[in-house]
Amino acid sequence: MTTTSSPDAIIDGLVYLGRSHYGWSHTADELIAGLNRVHIGSAIAVAAHPTGADFQAANDQLLAAAGGHRQLIPVARIDPWAERPGELSRVVRAGAKGVFLHPAEEHFRINDQVRVRPIMEAAAEHDVPVMIAAGFHLMAEPLQLGEAAGWVPELPVVLTNGGQFNISGGSQFDVELIMEQNPNLHVHTTAMYRQDFLERVVTRRGPDRLLFASAAPLFTMEFERARADLMHVDATQRALIMGGNAARIFRLGAAA
């Protein structure tokens, strides 16, 4: 094992920011303090599910926070149920580096042709990747995620938490299948307890398909950093996982 030496090169692939409808909050100052404490250079940030479901305001607050903190890379949270068809374009033009979908919290099925496919296609038209909160029963199961990824093969799609939530390990087979079928799919390291799965992603699908992420504050930044640091990968692979892949996929340029 080797650890990444330069904190500036490390990008946390997902953090949440703001006050959530579900009872927690995470301020920009708290987030920056966490990044500094765990020696992470920057983070891809998305808005928490806002109370009152005002996603436009939540995205604006996120963009404002990113404007004041160069360590934050904003990604637009889009609600397929919202009656704002231009929100994705607006937020991307305002500086968002990608689109975030949370099927469980916004309560939609990720392979819904009517509600979701147009968003994926719009993201492709704007040339920004899509990140999806993955692994939720009925809403974002691995095979459903694979179907959605297949709609737009040229669009990079990043799945949170290894593409699954399953403490028996059985969902790994579905995730391995969709990653084989969809070269545009990538997964986060967050909360994925099966280290052998994460390492198989690297050996079978390539080191360019795995991204370190903490998903703080829902998960513990320090532990998630340790989970990624303790993977059995070489220095080149580690550099991609800990930041290089995020920089490439989200086109972060000098931030990488």
**One residue of 3, 195, 203, 236 binding other proteins per CB under 8 A:** 195
Q: Do residues 133 and 102 make contact, with C-beta atoms less than 8 angstroms apart?
A: yes
Which residue type, as a one-letter code, is found at position 63? L
Using CB under 8 A as the binding rule, whether residue 227 contacts other proteins is answered as yes
Which residue type, as a one-letter code, is found at position 94? A
Residues 160-173, buried b or exposed e (16+ Cβ, 10 A)? bbbbbbbeeeebbe
CB of 244 to other proteins, least distance (A): 22
Between 194 and 205, CB nearer to other proteins: 194
Angle (deg, nearest 10), helices 171-181 and 142-151: 10
Cα–Cα distance for residue pair 190/49, rounded to 1 Å:
19
Cα–Cα distance for residue pair 13/211, rounded to 1 Å:
6
CA atoms within 13 A on the CB side of 50: 19
Binding characters for other proteins, 77-116, by CB under 8 A (x = yes): ----------------------------------------
**One residue of 194, 205, 248, 251 binding other proteins per CB under 8 A:** 194
3-state secondary structure of 11: strand
Binding characters for other proteins, 200-219, by CB under 8 A (x = yes): -------------------x
Cα–Cα distance for residue pair 62/242, rounded to 1 Å:
23
Between 82 and 177, CB nearer to other proteins: 177
CB of 124 to other proteins, least distance (A): 31
Using CB under 8 A as the binding rule, whether residue 33 contacts other proteins is answered as no
Give the interface segment with other proteins, choosing from 60-68, 109-117, 139-147, 191-199 (CB under 8 A).
191-199
CB of 86 to other proteins, least distance (A): 35
Using CB under 8 A as the binding rule, whether residue 177 contacts other proteins is answered as no
**One residue of 90, 117, 205, 220 binding other proteins per CB under 8 A:** 220
Q: What length is written for the chain?
A: 256
- What is the token pair recorded at 106? 């916004």
Which residue type, as a one-letter code, is found at position 54? D
**One residue of 173, 203, 234, 235 binding other proteins per CB under 8 A:** 173
**One residue of 125, 127, 180, 196 binding other proteins per CB under 8 A:** 196
CB of 187 to other proteins, least distance (A): 15
Q: In 3D, which of 134, 84, 89, 76 has the Cα closest to residue 110?
A: 134
Cα–Cα distance for residue pair 53/58, rounded to 1 Å:
9
Q: Which residues bind other proteins (CB under 8 A)?
A: 165-170, 173, 191, 193-196, 219-220, 222-224, 226-227, 230
